[in-house]
Amino acid sequence: MSALRKRVKRLEGESDGGLSVLVADSFNDGVPVIGTVWVRGQTYEREGGESQEQFLARVERTSGTTIERP
């Protein structure tokens, strides 16, 4: 995750501050299974038992950002 943080921080410095990064932990029939999201310098991890939609909704509520679903 450290390498990802460094790369995202570099990208964030080049963007307008609205950068969001979704990290797929795996793929299910070609559909990404998101477990980590980086929004405005904050890393959010999916909690056990939380569906992907619940996780992304929690990140949106907490961060005040709308996330486009893959």
Residues 13, 15, 17, 21, Cα dihedral to 10°: -90
What is the pTM (predicted TM-score) of this model? 0.67
Choice among 6-15, 30-39, 57-66 with the minimum mean pLDDT: 6-15
Mean per-residue pLDDT over the chain, rounded:
76
Distances (CA, A) of 63 to 10, 28, 47, 67: 20, 27, 16, 10
Q: How far apart are CA 59 and CA 45, in angstroms?
A: 9
